[in-house]
Amino acid sequence: MLYFVKAELRQMPPMAREQWMGQVIATWQVLAELERTGQAKGVGAMLGKQAGVAILDAESHEAVALILQRLPVSAYLEWDIVPMVSAQQALDNARWSTAATART
């Protein structure tokens, strides 16, 4: 299943900037590895915000939770997660809906 994921920093955590940046770097390393292995697509930082987005390819909601929980900065982020269907599935659904409407 595909999931649109947006994460935004709520507020700077109570730690030294050097420690925080170490966690940020470690998080981006995990995300880069997920992208390399195909578990994440289109991972990137949002310009002008302390936020990032990705499309995750995971087998279940629980798998998404595990992926996100292993990110070092996870506890400090506000998450927006939306399950998606592929473009092909959306096309198939639209065709089915059109055919069903024509039959009524």
Buried/exposed 21-59: b ≥16 CB within 10 Å, e otherwise: eebbeebbebbeebbeeebbeebeeeeeeeebebebbbe
Is the overall model pTM greater than 0.85, yes or no? no
In this predicted structure, the answer to whether residue 66 has a pLDDT above a threshold of 70 is: yes
Give per-residue pLDDT as tens, 47-64.
Answer: 999 999 999 999 999 999
Separation CA 65–CA 30 (nearest Å): 14
Tokens of 78: 């506000």
Residue 35 confidence (pLDDT): 95
Q: Are 84 and 42 in contact (CB under 8 A)?
A: no
Beta-sheet pairing, 77-84 with 2-9:
antiparallel
Give per-residue pLDDT as tens, 5-51.
Answer: 999 998 888 899 999 999 999 999 999 999 999 999 989 999 999 99
CATH of 2-103, one of 3.20.20.70, 1.10.3720.10, 3.30.70.1060, 2.40.110.10: 3.30.70.1060
